[in-house]
Amino acid sequence: MRRLLLVPLTALLVVAQMGVASASGGASVHCGQTLVADTRLTHDLLSCPGSGLVIGADNVTVDLGGHVIDGVNAPGSEGVAVDGHSGVRITNGTIREFFLNGVGLRNAPGSSVTNLRIAGIGAGGGDGDASAGVLVKDSAGTVVKGNTVTNDVAAFQSDGIDVLFSPHVRLIDNRVLRNAWNGAFVLESPGSTIVGNQFDANKNQGIEVNFGSDATEVRGNHARGNVADGIVVGAVSGVRVVDNETHGNADTGIFFFDLIDSTVASNDASGNSAGIVLAGGQYGSHGNRIVGNETSRNTEIGLVLDTQADHNVVIGNVSTKNLGAPGEGGGIIVFDSTGNALVGNVTNGNLDVGLGVFESAPGTSAGNSLRRNVANHNAGHGIDAVPGTIDRGGNVAHGNTPAPDCLGVLCS
């Protein structure tokens, strides 16, 4: 079996914001100004030598009025900087060519970033530099909605959206495209909602939800053409990953590790290198329900439970026409994992085994049970299961090569 490695955690962002003089009002606004009242821009702010705007009070709304805040990529610069003020709203315009963040929210709970176009953030960043189109840090309950973020720059790391230590954040209907590292990264932000976003053609992951972001919902997103994985979720419990589409990602459509008591349902992870991978990670993945997913036509393998992915339920998934060569592919594979229940899955027409239960040493894949699975016309056996697999009956296989259709269980 090909061993799957997780890309290390994205670096955290640590920001220091310079102070500037206070003022407000649409017509008088200039680069570097601190706003303490609701403001609607009436003109562009071009070639700002430092940061564009700074927010200096709670509950301030800044409506860009369709205008542009434009920087010169100065070190430490941000389009809009918010530090220690809640309920701030930034909306309706373009922010581009700042070095640190397009919008930086720190200790700004209950804020929102909506209907912005953010581009060209972080150009030239070197080893250790971290930038983002939108940074949400220590800002619970923030909403990031309806933005387009494209940091197609040469940089060590320029993400689209970063959410750090911020519970109950909502990322909704954003287009996060061609960023120089991750499309979005969510860390230690439990109870968050990631719905209806497009994470395409980013240089690393489409989106990664990592350590401590328990009870997060990842629903109805598209992740296509990313250089690594489409969606990564790990070191979390109680999450729901449902109704997402991941296509054309160079590695895995949806990759999980250290996943506990979560639901993975009704996703379409077809046409990637691998469809869905549930890896045990450091501490194991258990108590998960993998239900009704489509993992077909991947260039290697459909659905994998890999190394300490134990005691999960895999029901009603369709994994057909995957193209991996013998030993590198198949429809559904369980490897070095125990106690899983595989029920009612369909694994037809794969270039390797339809459904395989394999192990690196005797007993490392014991106690997996198979019931009512279908495995027809595969170019390996239909079902190939190691000793210690529990045959619950009703498995069906025919037309597989080589014969017999099934090893380790009986098939009708």
For residue range 362-409, list pLDDT tens digits in order: 999 999 999 999 999 999 999 999 999 999 999 999 999 999 999 999
pLDDT of 326 higher than 80: yes
Q: How confident is the model at residue 25 (pLDDT cuts 50, 70, 90)?
A: low
Supply 28's token pair: 């008088």
13 close to 135: Cβ distance less than 8 angstroms: yes
pLDDT of residue 327: 87
Asked whether residue 21 is domain-assigned, the answer is no
CATH of the domain at 60: 2.160.20.10
Q: Is residue 22 part of a domain?
A: no
- Pure H helices in 54-151: none
Question: Among residues 410, 347, 408, 336, which one has the least CA distance to residue 379?
Answer: 347
CA distance 215 to 261: 10
Residues in the chain: 412
Which whole number is the average pLDDT over 157-170? 98
Domain range enclosing 320? 37-407
Give yes or no for residue 287 having a pLDDT over 50: yes
DSSP 64-117: -TT-EEEE---TT-EEEEEES--S-EEEEEEEE--SSEEEEEES-TT-EEEEEE
Report pLDDT for 19.
32
Q: Are 235 and 251 in contact (CB under 8 A)?
A: no
Distances (CA, A) of 227 to 219, 223, 297: 21, 11, 18
pLDDT band at 122 (very low <50, low <70, confident <90, very high): very high
- Cα–Cα dist 10/180, whole Å: 12
Beta strands in 1-51 (DSSP E): 33-35, 39-40, 45-48
Instruction: Give the whole-number percent of the chain exceeding pLDDT 90.
Output: 92
Is 90 exceeded by the pLDDT of residue 11? no
Identify the pLDDT of residue 22: 40
Q: What is the pLDDT of residues 214-236, one digit of tens each?
A: 999 999 999 999 999 999 999 99
Whole-angstrom Cα distance, residue 57 to residue 72?
26
Residue 25 included in any domain: no
DSSP 3-state assignment of 137? strand
Report the alpha-carbon distance of residue 210 to residue 191 in Å, rounded. Answer: 12
pLDDT at 334: 98
- Cβ partners under 8 Å of residue 110, min gap 6: 86, 87, 139, 140, 141, 142
Nearest to 243 by CA among 299, 292, 314, 174: 292
Burial (0-12, 13-18, 19+ Cβ within 10 Å), 29? buried
Q: Kindly state the helix (H) or strand (E) to which residue 333 belongs, with its residue range.
A: strand 330-335
d(CA 350, CA 56): 60
Q: Is residue 2 part of a domain?
A: no
pLDDT at 23 over 80: no
Nearest Cα to 305, choosing from 283, 282, 286? 286
* 9 is a domain residue: no
State the Cα–Cα distance between residues 378 and 385, nearest whole angstrom. 15
Residue 15 confidence class, pLDDT cut points 50, 70, 90: very low
The residues, any chain, with a CB within 8 Å of residue 201's CB and separated by 6 or more, are 177, 178, 224, 225, 226
Residue where the block lists tokens 């459904």: 355
* β-pair partners for 411: none
Residue 1 lies in a domain: no
How far apart CA 242 and CA 218 sit, in angstroms, is 6
Check pLDDT > 50 for residue 42: yes
Q: Is the pLDDT of residue 182 over 50?
A: yes
User: How many domains are there within the chain?
Assistant: 1
Return d(Cα 159, Cα 157) in angstroms, integer.
Answer: 6
pLDDT at 4 over 60: no
Residue 185 lies in a domain: yes
CA distance 311 to 280: 11
SS3 label, residue 59: coil
Record the tokens describing residue 396, joined without a space: 């069906």
Residue 395 phi, psi (nearest 5): -75, 145
Calpha distance 189→116 (Å, rounded):
23
Token output for 170 = 């909502």
In three-state secondary structure terms, 118 is: strand
- Is residue 14 a part of any domain in this protein? no
Per the CB < 8 A criterion, the answer to whether 58 and 83 are in contact is no
Is 54 in a helix, a strand, or coil? Answer: strand
Mean pLDDT of 54-73: 98
